[in-house]
Structure 1
Amino acid sequence: MTFDPASVLPAELLTRIRSRAVEVDARNVFPEADLADLREVGYLGALVPVDRGGLGLSLADVSLLQQRLAEAAPATALAVNMHLVWTGVAKVLQDRGIDDLRFVQEEAAVGEVFAFGISEAGNDLVLFGSDTQAAPQADGSYAFTGTKIFTSLGPVWTRLGLHGLDTTSPDAPQMVYAFIERDDRVITRDDWDTLGMRGTQSRTTELHGAVAPAARVVRRVAPGPNPDPIVFGIFSVFEVLLASVYTGIARRALDLAVATAQRRTSKKTGKAYSQDPDIRWRIAEMALAYDALPPQLAALCRDIDERADHGARWFSLLSGIKHRATAMAKRVVDEAMLVAGGSSYFAANELSRLYRDVLAGAFHPSDPESAHATVASAWLGPLDA
């Protein structure tokens, strides 16, 4: 049976969420009311199995939901994306017979909010290295010291999934993946004042010996490219759900452009702009670009859900879809602004906000340089030493 995203995110809920987006952006605050509504419909447990309290949806289903949510409020969708990444990683691991993140599923299902503490300033290794110190303790726990940036859900998270580098154990160096809770060893700076995506409140997080108990230390892997399932799980879910958000932004911009073209009338011809050949060509270009992404996302999500084997091509496929989605979304919003005309330049116009929000796509991993390098290596082989 085909999944209907409206069964989880009905139109009346999206109308409420969209109505708040303007104020959230203008006040530069976290959309608390949106999170409450999403928690009420079980959204935090969307990827959690039914027998663990969740909705039991597939990654392909949640990709559709994130597209739909992003049409209403991109910042809300991008913020909750980071929680969904961890529940998605738990699902990827469980599907492959690894149940190390069962606690993530069970706690998400009862309303705990998981944030994503991976990004670090200047660390282009991303998953393959860390400037955060992970110090092993005698009881098997780890103390993390360092600074994480772009920590979405900054004011509201209750659990932080993060990584750090253990340089002192006998088998060091080792990348350590673990989960911590808030306490006085964690400082969330109030420093999120950005051009767009303001509602994500992706604040800087300082770790001053923040301790992950031994039971919440879920992986120790060698630095660098690594076939460990947690690396694949994070990268795969992060990239497809990120692409889903930006694909949703593009769809909203396209719909707004179509509505504007049908509503506006040319003084010169007396006809609706939807009858103008230049406007029709521009909207057709937008639709041609947008139409390619939803089926690509559906296919790649299905491959992750069904454990398809793309071998060494996985990382080029995943970085590629993120790159295509964010680049496509920016082109579509640019074109929508031109179709709408000068009114779209005013801050009160929804397209003005979408224009600022969509710019964030270039800064998420994989960035354009990394995506091209990954794809080039997949097709041409690695660079000569």
Structure 2
Amino acid sequence: MTSFDPARYLPDDLLARLRERAVVHDRENTFPHDDLDELRAAGYLGILVPEERGGAGLGLVEASLLQQRLAGAAPATALAVNMHLVWTGVAKVLRDRGIDDLAFVDEGAAAGEVFAFGISEAGNDLVLFGSDTTAEPDGEGGYRFTGTKIFTSLSPAWDHLGVHGLDSASPDGPKMVFAFLDRDDAVVTRDDWDTLGMRGTQSRTTELHGAHAPAHRVVRRLDPGPQPDPLVFGIFAVFEILLASVYTGIARRALDLAVEAATSRRSKKTGTTYANDPDIRWRVADMALAYEALPPQLAALARDVDSLADHGGRWFSLLAGVKHRAVTMAKSVVDDAILVGGGSAYFSRTELSRLYRDVLAGMFHPSDPESAHSTAAAAWLGPVTA
């Protein structure tokens, strides 16, 4: 893994263009179509697709490093693309375990098609294990989905939307149904994404009005509740690792900006740079100590997923934990970077100000702090007893 060079897939000149455009998309609340076009042309949508299907054949370890690098330039672009990479990552997790149910995802991604993640629902803290969306059988093995999905990143650009819903009508129901939809009139995207940060993701609300998934795009029917199915594991594992990677990348950029500020700002009182101030040195060191713990954790967990390691029942605690630590670390590092940057960082035109707003989104993604702590408690203490 030491020979892997992220700059091969995300060269400095590309990142510079993405960073420059990120300012505009944040200010104007627009989707980064140009970013997506450049990433598509560079083959980035297929980094997790095997070479024999037209992709780069990378593993989750390398994808994590790439997402960290991308997030350092354009956090919203990285978070949006993350949701596409989740599905290609799930296809890899399944394929590595001898299950090729998502071959069409690989093939579509290699051709430049965009897959989006339509799972989140308002008030549904069951997430993967339950749904308020109705999945109605069409009598031919397919389903029609009716419901509302929130935080649908890539809303202006996706070609296929992975969703879940509850089938309560079939004789063997209720069943959780996972399937993929194409854009049509039964899928309505609201233009309602006006948020504090991560504005470029354009994670709009999506209404499903009997949206149809034919039988060959229905990938699972599972009992509601926690399941050992590889699809559920794949979604959770890839989602948590790549999400943590984005926020770790934001933290690294904030740390770099803090170092830049400390070494360039000069104190009128001492006549030297703030890099020589003991309080600033302590603060930057504290940021570095917090940040440097996360990349090795991400690499280790991603490698375990790639190598089919068996953590048994501890998997969900490990994955929820790394996501929780990444987003809380990133928030703390950006907070400190703002202080090191001084009063100028308070202006909305500065990159640190944008990172400050962008990093706040981390707390809203699954697993949230309550879920992460509940999962960890169950792993170490067992279930709650009467």
- Give the TM-score normalised by structure 1: 1.00
- Structure 2 match to 1:230: 231
Shift of 1:146: 0.2
CA drift of 1:78 comes to 0.1
CA–CA distance in structure 1, aligned partners of residues 106 and 179 of structure 2: 15
Secondary structure, counterpart of 1:161 in structure 2: strand
Aligned position for 2:23: 22
Question: Which residue is 1:268 aligned to?
Answer: 269
CA shift at 1:154, angstroms? 0.5
What corresponds to 1:121 in structure 2? 122
Matching of residues 1-385 of structure 1 within 5 Å:
2-385=3-386
In structure 2, distance between residues paired with 1:19 and 1:193: 21
Q: How big is the shift at 1:339? A: 0.3
CA offset at residue 87 of structure 1?
Answer: 0.3
Quote how far apart the aligned CAs of 1:205 are: 0.2
Structure 1: where are the runs of 5+ without partners? Answer: none
What is the total number of aligned residue pairs between the two structures?
385
Q: Which amino acid aligns with 2:188?
A: I
- Per-residue deviation, 1:150: 0.2
Paired residue type of 1:117: G
Distance (whole Å) between structure 2 residues aligned to residue 100 and residue 45 of structure 1: 17
Distance 1:143 1:3 in 2: 43
Residue 274 of structure 1 deviates from its aligned partner by 0.2
How many Å separate the matches in 2 of 1:147 and 1:376?
32
The structural deviation recorded for 1:138 is 1.2
Match of 2:331, as an amino acid? K
Structure 1 residue 145, shift from structure 2 partner:
0.2
SS at match of 1:148: strand
Q: Structure 2 CA distance, aligned partners of 1:202 and 1:365? A: 15
CA RMSD of aligned residues (A): 0.5
Letter in 2 for 1:356: R
Task: Give the Cα–Cα distance (whole angstroms) in 2 for the partners of residues 353 and 86 of structure 1.
Answer: 28
Deviation at 1:328, TM superposition (A): 0.1
Give deviations 1:146-167, integer Å, cap 9, x for gaps: 0000000011101000100000
What is the one-letter code of the residue matched to 1:175?
M
Q: Tell me the alpha carbon deviations over residues 28-81 of structure 1, each in whole angstroms, 9 at most, x when there is no partner.
A: 000000000000110000100000010100000000000000000000000000
| Aligned AA (2:265) | R
CA distance in 2, matches of 1:157, 1:107: 12
1:191 counterpart SS class:
coil
CA shift at 1:383, angstroms? Answer: 0.4
Q: Distance in 2 between matches of 1:171 and 1:239?
A: 31
Partners of 1:32 and 1:357 in 2: how far apart?
Answer: 19
Query: Using the alignment, how far apart are the partners of 2:118 and 2:341 within structure 1?
Result: 38
Cα distance between partner residues in 1 of 2:178 and 2:65: 29
Deviations 1:251-309 (CA, angstroms, capped at 9, x unpaired): 00000000000000000000100000000000000000000000000000000000000
How big is each residue's C-alpha offset from its partner over 1:218-240, in whole Å with a ceiling of 9 and x where there is no partner?
00111001000110000000000
How big is each residue's C-alpha offset from its partner over 1:126-147, in whole Å with a ceiling of 9 and x where there is no partner?
A: 0000000000111111000000
State the alpha-carbon separation in 2 of the partners of residues 137 and 12 from structure 1.
Answer: 49
CA deviations over 1:182-210 (Å, ceiling 9, x no partner) = 00000000000000000000000000000
* CA distance in structure 1 between the aligned counterparts of 2:65 and 2:308, rounded to whole angstroms: 19
Give TM-score scaled by structure 2 length: 0.99
- Looking at structure 2, the residues matched to 242 and 279 of structure 1 have their Cα atoms a distance apart, in angstroms, of 30
> After TM superposition, where is structure 1 displaced by more than 6 Å over at least 4 residues in a row?
none
Identity %: 75
| SS of equivalent to 1:384 | coil
Structure 2: distance between partners of 1:111 and 1:167: 36
Q: Distance in 1 between matches of 2:377 and 2:82?
A: 28
In 2: Cα distance, 1:244 partner to 1:141 partner: 35
